[in-house]
Each structure stands twice: as structure tokens, then as C-alpha cells.
């Protein structure tokens, strides 16, 4: 406790002039004539695959078609009936290791950079990272222009965790060579519903 | 000749390597330019970011209290560390309490600053870096040569041979970065699954919500916190910003400036511990920052969001490499941070600048880095004076800094010895 008061005391002693918070209302952030088209372009650039499907089509069949060799499929989504493991009911997060395909839901996408917001909606968030391939169900009507609009919509939910993801895990740490598939998902497929 | 000059001379002996180094970082600068030119509002964003930082730093007491109250309300345990030693003790205390033998961690310049890894290893705790670049230099026993791309000074052959020695690679002679990355993935997966605790740094702390925000491309911060039963997050005091509206401004600038991507792959918000895990621990670290805030000439260095763009553009950094500097953070911002930390130890770095001011023209939060280096140079007589005179000058300067009127009056006095020194240090 004393460190806290000492630190705050030193800060107060050091501040000479208090600066005003700028207004952000006049910020002229980029908007797109067709946010969905911009989102798709940015997603592809970030390494995501994008598949548009009609609301009446069977998502399970689409996932099977995309990943014919997948054995372990993890999901807690009610519309997914091909899941072999459920991140809500596993005994430990470690059990999700070895997942070929994880299927999760995104709340909305961001046109300027191809990311989508994933609030934790499962007990073990490991499924979002540990799966070799990640499939995101995203409503195509829910695309915002930029991060300013995005952060007005961010909601972490009860688990108190959420993440923006754009494309597969990647690195350029060895000689600046871009490699897809560092520590988390090696491929990301956005299913626009 | 300063230590930096000597090291730079050695660096430049290998002309082929130094040309590659220069071109590699210039390419990152060009990627950043493409991003900046692609956003018509870029300069407006920089202006807002700078103003938000000025506001936040000059109300840091209020925002820190708001942040810690919000985090505690979320169930996190918030610690305040006055210095590196206290930080390390707090981390060790938490780990001991939970019987932790091995931790996985994401990249953090703060833990580097505090010497946390060697401290914990001395206490018998295994620390595994999980950012690929950090893992590589950890295995080599090296320090980062850049704050965003810590292992960029190494060639694929050097990494490949390391992985062969460590048993990470199985195909001898295969030094393809894709293969090496895959082998590191397989090796680190085991650590993620078996670690007792995960540790992350923070790119931002959000005062309004108590969120810790971590930006990575590899997803290693998320992997580090998905399986272990304990999460410790460490952040420097200056990482706290007011709210999500402010975060949107910085999020848009950070990665575009750092690597020339429109966003990092992951921008993750940690507010609560995962279900069934121990409460999240958040450690707010001062370690000099509250004092630097009171430095009238140099407090704005604290605006820095650690994107590394000042290094990528710096003609001296590109041609001398991260290890030529005496401070663990190199390049323009490192020169300034080193002088704030210990001017006597790091005054040699102020010569590592051509005053081209390219750094401050790319800085996303408009830190006047080059101008500050110029100001540090005016103080060289203080730090370079003979022991007897040095003592008097240092004592005098600390008095001057604490009395604004004296400070103004003193500026002329300090300039005089600088003029006589200028000829031999600058030419």
C-alpha cells in the first residue's frame, strides 16, 4: 500500500501543467462505400480465407467440405452438429490440444483491417488459439468501418475476455520472412452468413 | 570516441551484413509509409494520440487510481512496484504462493528492464519466452536487438544451427524460416500445456474498464493464458490510457507504425481470470517513471507506445544495430530512455544521432525524440565533467530541475561549457 501512495505522491509532485483531453468528435475516420467488400479485401490480405454462404445452407456440410480430413472438431455452437469436443464441457483446456478445426462465432467485422471481434463465449478460450484451423461464423450485415466504430461496440461478456483476430497466427521473426502459423491457429476461415 | 561509435565501427566492418541490416529496417519503414499514406486521417490521428498522451500523463495519478479500482472490481489483484527489485519480489511472491515451477511468457520490454528472467531463474523458476524472436535470443543467451523484432539481427542459418543444437529441429541443414517456425511451434506447444503460470506484458491498460490489452501477431499472449491456472500481467505506469475511444486511436496507429500492418493479428482484452483459475494479478511498475514525469525537458518521452518506428527510420540505428547502444532499448527512444535512467552510464548514446529528426516525423504519438537528444547533448558537460566538478554540477542540476525559475535562469550558464566541448565531441 505504501508503494501506491509513494508513487501517486511522486506523480502529483512532478506534474507541472494539466493538459485538456482533446475532443475526438472531429476525427474524420475512413469509411467505405461498401464495408463488406472492404472487409473481405482486408481479410484476404491478413491471410484469412473468406467463404460466403446463404442462410439456408448447412454450415456443417460447408465445414466438412472445407476440411475433409478433420477428425477432432471443437465447438459449443448450437448449430454445429459435427463437433467431437466441446470447450464448455472439457475437463481441462489442455484436452483441446490436437483440435483440427475449432468453430466459433464472431460478433462483428472491421472493414479497415479485416479483424473480427470474438468475445469469450465458451468456458475454455483455448479453442480460439489451440486449434490448427479456426472457422468463424460472422454475420455479413455486421461490418463496421473502422476501429473507432468497433470500440463503441466492444463487449467482453461475463467471462471478461475478448479479442480482435485478423487472419492466422503469424510471425516474421526469422529474417523478416512472413510465416503463417506461429503459436496459434495456422489457418482462419471466415464464413460470412 | 563513445562506446556507441566504437561498436558501430565494428558493426560496419561486415559490409554485406550491415547493408542487409540497413535495407531490412528501411523496408519496414516503407511498409509503415504505405500504411500512413493509405489513411487520409493519419496526421489527425497522430495529433489526437499526442494530445491524449499529454492529457493522460498530466492526469496520471487520477487514471492510475481509476484503473486499479476498475481492475480490483473485476476481481484482479493489483500491485504497485516502486522499482525493479520490488517488481521482481512481487512476481516471485505470487509464483511461490502458487507453487509455480515454470512460466510461459509473452514479450515484455518491462520484464527485460527489470531483469526479471535472470532473477526468477536464480530462484529456481524456469521462464520460457513464447514470442518466437524472444525464444530464439533466450536460447542464445542474448538480449533483444530491437523492441519489436528482437531477433532480426540473426540469419536463418544462425537460427537453424541453434535449433539443431537444442534438438528443436530434426532435419539437419534445413534452415528455411517456415520449417524453423513450425519446429518452434511444436516445441513451444508442450510448454504452453504444462506451464503453471502465464505472464504477459501490456500494450495498454484501460482506466475505464480495468482491461489489460495485449497486441501480438503470434497469439502467444493468448496461448500463454489459455491453459495455466495463473495469469500475471505487468505494465509500466505510462501504459494506462483513459478509455476505449482513446484505445481506438492508439490501436490504429500502433501496428501500422510498428510493422506496416493495418492491425496485429490479435488485439486481446484481459479483464478477468479464466474460469476456475486463480485471480489475475496486475503489477503496475514505476521504476523511475514517476520521477521522469517531473523532468521539464524530457517528461514527454513517456508518451512512447513502443512501436519501434523511430529505430526503423533512424539512419544511425540502421547502420549500427541494436547492440551498439549501451541501454537495453536502442535507437532514438532508447537514447532518451537511457539518459533518463542513468545519464552517466548512457551519455555515450547521445552521439548516435544525426539530428535528422526523421524519428519524430514518424513517431505516432509525436514524441520530439531528436530535439530531446539535442537537449541531452547540452548537458554533456554535466555528465562528462571531472569527478569533483561533476558532483557539484549534478547536485546543482537536481536543484535546478526542482525549481522552475532557477531552471530558466540556469539555461544560459549550462550552454557555455557545451560550446567549448562541441568541437571535439561532434566533429
Give tens-digit pLDDT for B69-123: 999 999 999 999 999 999 999 999 999 999 999 999 999 999 999 999 999 999 9
Give the integer Cα–Cα distance in Å for B32 and B29: 5
Distance from CA of A54 to the nearest CA of B (A): 27
Contact B55 A19 (CB under 8 A): yes
Instruction: Decide: residue B156, CB within 10 A, 0-12 exposed, 13-18 middle, 19+ buried.
Output: middle
Partners of residue A177 in chain B, C-beta under 8 Å: 156, 177-178
Distance from CA of B312 to the nearest CA of A (A): 13
Partners of residue B257 in chain A, C-beta under 8 Å: none
Secondary structure letter of residue B303 according to DSSP: G
Better-predicted residue by pLDDT, B262 or B379: B262
pLDDT given at position B416: 40
Give the integer Cα–Cα distance in Å for B319 and B153: 12
Task: Provide mean pLDDT across the span B132-148.
Answer: 96
Contact A179 B249 (CB under 8 A): no
**What confidence category does residue B395 fall into, taking pLDDT thresholds of 50, 70 and 90?**
low
Angle at B39 between CA B33 and CA B40, to 5 degrees: 115
CATH number, domain containing residue A171: 3.40.50.10420
**What confidence category does residue B393 fall into, taking pLDDT thresholds of 50, 70 and 90?**
low
Is A27 inside any structural domain?
Answer: no
Partners of residue B150 in chain A, C-beta under 8 Å: 173
Q: Do domains B3-37+290-378 and B42-287 have the same CATH topology?
A: no
pLDDT given at position A55: 87
Are the C-beta atoms of B43 and B247 separated by less than 8 Å? no
Nearest CA in chain B to A18: B58
**What confidence category does residue B426 fall into, taking pLDDT thresholds of 50, 70 and 90?**
very low
Architecture of domain B42-287: 3-Layer(aba) Sandwich (3.40)
**Any chain B CB within 8 A of the CB of A12?**
yes
Contact A182 B60 (CB under 8 A): no
Residue B323 makes CB contacts below 8 A (sequence gap 6+) with B7, B11, B143, B145, B153, B330
Are the C-beta atoms of A96 and A87 separated by less than 8 Å? yes
Contact B245 A112 (CB under 8 A): no
Give strand pairing partners of B236.
B285
Better-predicted residue by pLDDT, B395 or A34: A34
Are the C-beta atoms of B102 and B191 separated by less than 8 Å? yes
Secondary structure letter of residue A163 according to DSSP: E
Give the integer Cα–Cα distance in Å for A191 and A193: 6
Give the integer Cα–Cα distance in Å for B406 and B396: 10
Q: Is B105 helix (H, G, I), strand (E, B) or coil?
A: strand
Are the C-beta atoms of A167 and B207 separated by less than 8 Å? no
Residue B387 has pLDDT above 90, yes or no: no
pLDDT given at position B381: 85
Cβ pairs A/B, distance under 8 A? 257
Give the integer Cα–Cα distance in Å for B199 and B223: 11
Q: Is A33 helix (H, G, I), strand (E, B) or coil?
A: coil
pLDDT given at position B383: 76
**What confidence category does residue B158 fall into, taking pLDDT thresholds of 50, 70 and 90?**
very high
Partners of residue B295 in chain A, C-beta under 8 Å: 14
Distance from CA of B131 to the nearest CA of A (A): 8
CA distances in angstroms from B190 to A67, A93, B98, B168, B318, listed in the order given: 25, 13, 21, 12, 36
Give strand pairing partners of A191.
A51, A137
Residue B397 has pLDDT above 80, yes or no: no
**Any chain B CB within 8 A of the CB of A81?**
no
The interface predicted TM-score of the complex, written ipTM, equals: 0.98
Residues of chain A with confidence (pLDDT) below 70: 1
Distance from CA of B47 to the nearest CA of A (A): 9
Task: Provide the mean pLDDT of chain B.
Answer: 92
The length of chain A, given as a count of residues: 193
Give tens-digit pLDDT for B407-423: 555 554 444 433 333 33
Residue B392 has pLDDT above 80, yes or no: no
Distance from CA of B356 to the nearest CA of A (A): 26
Give tens-digit pLDDT for B226-256: 999 999 999 999 999 999 999 999 999 999 9
Partners of residue B210 in chain A, C-beta under 8 Å: none
Contact B220 A175 (CB under 8 A): no
Q: Provide the domain limits for residue A161.
A: 34-192
Contact B177 A175 (CB under 8 A): yes
Give the integer Cα–Cα distance in Å for B255 and B35: 9
Nearest CB to B226 within list A11, A125, A166:
A125
Give tens-digit pLDDT for B14-49: 999 999 999 999 999 999 999 999 999 999 999 999
Which of A45, A129, A162 is most worth mutating to test chain B (most B CB atoms within 10 A of its CB)?
Answer: A129
C-beta atoms surrounding B37 within 10 Å: 9
Is A1 inside any structural domain?
Answer: no
Contact B294 A13 (CB under 8 A): yes
pLDDT given at position B389: 52
Q: Which CATH class is domain B3-37+290-378?
A: mainly alpha
Distance from CA of B386 to the nearest CA of A (A): 30
Domain extents for chain B? 3-37+290-378, 42-287
Give tens-digit pLDDT for B48-65: 999 999 999 999 999 999
Are the C-beta atoms of A100 and A73 separated by less than 8 Å? yes
Contact B271 A148 (CB under 8 A): no
Partners of residue B288 in chain A, C-beta under 8 Å: none
pLDDT given at position A88: 98
Partners of residue A25 in chain B, C-beta under 8 Å: none
**Any chain B CB within 8 A of the CB of A124?**
yes
Contact B64 A8 (CB under 8 A): yes
Partners of residue B60 in chain A, C-beta under 8 Å: 11, 15
**Any chain B CB within 8 A of the CB of A129?**
yes
Partners of residue B249 in chain A, C-beta under 8 Å: 24, 27, 148
Among B78-87, B134-143, B383-392, where is mean pLDDT lowest?
Answer: B383-392
Give tens-digit pLDDT for B311-365: 999 999 999 999 999 999 999 999 999 999 999 999 999 999 999 999 999 999 9
Q: What is the number of domains present in chain A?
A: 1
Which of B133, B146, B261, B265 is most worth mutating to test chain A (most A CB atoms within 10 A of its CB)?
Answer: B265
CA distances in angstroms from B53 to B105, B237, B248, B293, B300, listed in the order given: 28, 12, 13, 12, 9
Amino acid at each position: 500500500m505504501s508503494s501506491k501512495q509513494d508513487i501517486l505522491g511522486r506523480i502529483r509532485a512532478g506534474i507541472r501543467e494539466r493538459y485538456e483531453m482533446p475532443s475526438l468528435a472531429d476525427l474524420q475516420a475512413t469509411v467505405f462505400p461498401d464495408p463488406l467488400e472492404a472487409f473481405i479485401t482486408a481479410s484476404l490480405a491478413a491471410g484469412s480465407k473468406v467463404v460466403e454462404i446463404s442462410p439456408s445452407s448447412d454450415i456443417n456440410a460447408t465445414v466438412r467440405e472445407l476440411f475433409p480430413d478433420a477428425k477432432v472438431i471443437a465447438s459449443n455452437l448450437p448449430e454445429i452438429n459435427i463437433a467431437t469436443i466441446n470447450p464448455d464441457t472439457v475437463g481441462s483446456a489442455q484436452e483441446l490440444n490436437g483440435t483440427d478445426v475449432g468453430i466459433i462465432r464472431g460478433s462483428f467485422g472491421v472493414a479497415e483491417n479485416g479483424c473480427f471481434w470474438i468475445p469469450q463465449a465458451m468456458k475454455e478460450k483455448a479453442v480460439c488459439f489451440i486449434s490448427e484451423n479456426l472457422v468463424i461464423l460472422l454475420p455479413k450485415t455486421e461490418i463496421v468501418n473502422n476501429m473507432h466504430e468497433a470500440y463503441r461496440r466492444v463487449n467482453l461478456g461475463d467471462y471478461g475476455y475478448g479479442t480482435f483476430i485478423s487472419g492466422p497466427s503469424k510471425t516474421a521473426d526469422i529474417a523478416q520472412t512472413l510465416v503463417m502459423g506461429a503459436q496459434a491457429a495456422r489457418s482462419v476461415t471466415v464464413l460470412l452468413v | 570516441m563513445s562506446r556507441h561509435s566504437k561498436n558501430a565501427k565494428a558493426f560496419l566492418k561486415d559490409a554485406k551484413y550491415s547493408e542487409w541490416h540497413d535495407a531490412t529496417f528501411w523496408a519496414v519503414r516503407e511498409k509503415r509509409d504505405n500504411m500512413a499514406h493509405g489513411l487520409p486521417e493519419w496526421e489527425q490521428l497522430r495529433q489526437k494520440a499526442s494530445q491524449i498522451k499529454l492529457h493522460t500523463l498530466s492526469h496520471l495519478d487520477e487514471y492510475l487510481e481509476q484503473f486499479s479500482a476498475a481492475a480490483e472490481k473485476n476481481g484482479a489483484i493489483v500491485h504497485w512496484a516502486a522499482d525493479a527489485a520490488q517488481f521482481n519480489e512481487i512476481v516471485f511472491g505470487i509464483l511461490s504462493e502458487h507453487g509455480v515451477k515454470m512460466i510461459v511468457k509473452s514479450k515484455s520490454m518491462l520484464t527485460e528492464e527489470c531483469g526479471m528472467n535472470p532473477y526468477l531463474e536464480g530462484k529456481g523458476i524456469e521462464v520460457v519466452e513464447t514470442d518466437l524472436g524472444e525464444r530464439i535470443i533466450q536460447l542464445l543467451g542474448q538480449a533483444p536487438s530491437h523492441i519489436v523484432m528482437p531477433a532480426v539481427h540473426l540469419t536463418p542459418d544462425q537460427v537453424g544451427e541453434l535449433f539443431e543444437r537444442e534438438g528443436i529441429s530434426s532435419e539437419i541443414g534445413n534452415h528455411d524460416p517456415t520449417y524453423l517456425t513450425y519446429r518452434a511451434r511444436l516445441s513451444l506447444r508442450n510448454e504452453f500445456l504444462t506451464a503453471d503460470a502465464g505472464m504477459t506484458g501490456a500494450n495498454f491498460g484501460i482506466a475505464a474498464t480495468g482491461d489489460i490489452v495485449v497486441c501480438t501477431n503470434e497469439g502467444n499472449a493468448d496461448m500463454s493464458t489459455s491453459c495455466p491456472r495463473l495469469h500475471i500481467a505487468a505494465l509500466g505506469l505510462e501504459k494506462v490510457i483513459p478509455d476505449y475511444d482513446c484505445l481506438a486511436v492508439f490501436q490504429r496507429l500502433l501496428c501500422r507504425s510498428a510493422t506496416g500492418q493495418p492491425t496485429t493479428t490479435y488485439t486481446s482484452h484481459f479483464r478477468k481470470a479464466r474460469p476456475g483459475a486463480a485471480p489475475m494479478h496486475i503489477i503496475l511498475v514505476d521504476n523511475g517513471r514517476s520521477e521522469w514525469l517531473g523532468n521539464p525537458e524530457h517528461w514527454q518521452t513517456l508518451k512512447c507506445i513502443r512501436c519501434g518506428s523511430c529505430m526503423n527510420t533512424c539512419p544511425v540505428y540502421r547502420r549500427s544495430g541494436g547492440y551498439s547502444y549501451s541501454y537495453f532499448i536502442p535507437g532514438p527512444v532508447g537514447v532518451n530512455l537511457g539518459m533518463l535512467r542513468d545519464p552517466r552510464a548512457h551519455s555515450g548514446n547521445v552521439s548516435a544521432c544525426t539530428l535528422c529528426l526523421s524519428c519524430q516525423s514518424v513517431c505516432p504519438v509525436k514524441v520530439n525524440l531528436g530535439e530531446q537528444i539535442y537537449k541531452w547533448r547540452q548537458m554533456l558537460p554535466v555528465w562528462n565533467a571531472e569527478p569533483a566538478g561533476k558532483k557539484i554540477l549534478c547536485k546543482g542540476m537536481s536543484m535546478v530541475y526542482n525549481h522552475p525559475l532557477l531552471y530558466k535562469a540556469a539555461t544560459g550558464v549550462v550552454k557555455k561549457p557545451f560550446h567549448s566541448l562541441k568541437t571535439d565531441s561532434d566533429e
